[in-house]
């Protein structure tokens, strides 16, 4: 499993001659890093006398991002698996007309699955951005730069996942599926972009940038 590898081993596989793992796996990894950094801000706020009044909210936010961290970590391997499924479909026999039909159908099924996974990654990254926004605003100001790094990581994960959605949609033939996926992708991206802009404005104000 990719998520069990050391950083060095994962990067070695990423730099290798195979297309898997690729951008989709890194999208989930970016999002997971964002969730971890937001959790860190929560942990460095919880238990401090100065922020005692925020403890219930920070505990709830930490629980939320920990769930998202687990989800995004799973998505690292799920995305690579979805891509491998598409590649397996492309390797199916195509000697006869029946073979070609079955292969074509399997490729389309694989591409649709490979589109749903990065859409799920986008959704999880947006949730990290949403929780992160309130944590950044209320949390320990001494780690605002770490929280901002978490926001940027989650936003990068969302945009990277969007690239994977689109490249798969370019090869899909089901127009209804294409339109539904594009609509969902656009809504997620717009919400995530807005959350990042609001958080960055707060960071600039707090850090005097």
Domains of the chain, first to last: 22-207 (1.20.120.680)
| Nearby residues of 54 by Cβ (< 8 Å), 6 or more positions away | 45, 138, 139
The pLDDT value given to residue 42? 97
The pLDDT value given to residue 124? 98
Q: For 35-77, what is each residue's pLDDT tens digit?
A: 999 999 999 999 998 989 999 999 999 999 999 999 999 999 9
| Nearby residues of 40 by Cβ (< 8 Å), 6 or more positions away | 143, 146, 150
The pLDDT value given to residue 203? 94
Nearest to 207 by CA among 162, 167, 148: 148
* pLDDT over threshold 90, residue 17: no
- Report CA torsion sign: 13, 155, 152, 74: negative
Angle at 76 between CA 71 and CA 80, to 5 degrees: 135
- As a whole number, mean pLDDT of residues 128-150 equals 95
More confident residue, 10 or 110: 110
Task: Please give the mean pLDDT across all residues of the chain.
Answer: 94
* pLDDT over threshold 90, residue 32: yes
- As a whole number, mean pLDDT of residues 178-183 equals 98
Q: For 76-126, what is each residue's pLDDT tens digit?
A: 999 999 999 999 999 999 999 998 999 999 999 999 999 999 999 999 999
* pLDDT over threshold 90, residue 34: yes
The pLDDT value given to residue 2? 85
Nearest to 199 by CA among 30, 41, 32, 63: 41
**Max CA-CA distance within the chain?**
73
The pTM assigned to this predicted structure is 0.94
Q: How far apart are CA 80 and CA 22, in angstroms?
A: 7
- As a whole number, mean pLDDT of residues 166-190 equals 97
């Amino acid at each position: 499993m990719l998520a069990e590898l050391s950083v060095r081993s994962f990067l070695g596989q990423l730099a290798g001659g195979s297309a898997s793992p690729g951008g989709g796996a890194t999208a989930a990894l970016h999002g997971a890093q964002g969730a971890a950094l937001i959790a860190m801000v929560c942990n460095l706020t919880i238990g401090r006398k100065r922020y005692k009044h925020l403890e219930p909210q920070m505990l709830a936010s930490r629980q939320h991002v920990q769930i998202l961290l687990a989800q995004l970590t799973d998505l690292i391997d799920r995305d690579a698996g979805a891509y491998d499924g598409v590649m397996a479909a492309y390797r199916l026999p195509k000697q006869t007309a029946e073979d070609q039909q079955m292969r074509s159908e399997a490729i389309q099924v694989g591409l649709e699955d490979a589109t749903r996974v990065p859409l799920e990654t986008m959704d999880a990254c947006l949730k990290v951005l949403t929780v992160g926004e309130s944590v950044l605003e209320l949390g320990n100001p001494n780690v605002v730069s770490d929280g901002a790094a978490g926001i940027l990581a989650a936003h990068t994960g969302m945009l990277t996942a969007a690239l994977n959605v689109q490249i798969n949609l370019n090869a899909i033939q089901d127009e209804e599926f294409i339109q539904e996926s594009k609509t969902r992708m656009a809504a997620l991206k717009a919400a995530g972009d807005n959350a990042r802009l609001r958080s960055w404005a707060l960071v600039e104000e707090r850090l005097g940038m």
